[in-house]
Amino acid sequence: MTSPKKESRIKKLLEMPREITTNEPKITIVSFQEMLIENYKGVLEYENYYVRVNTYIGIMNINGFNLNLNQISSDDLIITGRITSIEIEEQEE
């Protein structure tokens, strides 16, 4: 028989991450040089100094220098370059 503490840990390990079970975006930023956006809807605008990305919670505005869309898939987007600011326009329900 397993202890309640072990059962709780096992349940926690088997649970799916929230961003997988919902449409909420997951954003990972590495040293202002790389940004990974998971669960995005689409790229609205793209310039080497400005990227607008539509997500399920609103529109993300990424500003910087030498920005590139490095990898694009149906679920994930990687932006590289010098990221100087990020703004999220909350989507009204």
Q: What is the pLDDT of residues 46-68, one digit of tens each?
A: 999 999 999 989 999 999 999 99
- For the chain, domains (ranges, CATH) are 19-90 (2.60.40.2000)
pLDDT at 23: 77
Beta carbons of 33 and 80 less than 8 angstroms apart: yes
Q: Which pLDDT score is estimated for 6?
A: 62
Give the pLDDT confidence of 2-44 residue by residue, as tens digits: 566 665 666 566 665 665 556 789 999 999 999 999 999 999 9
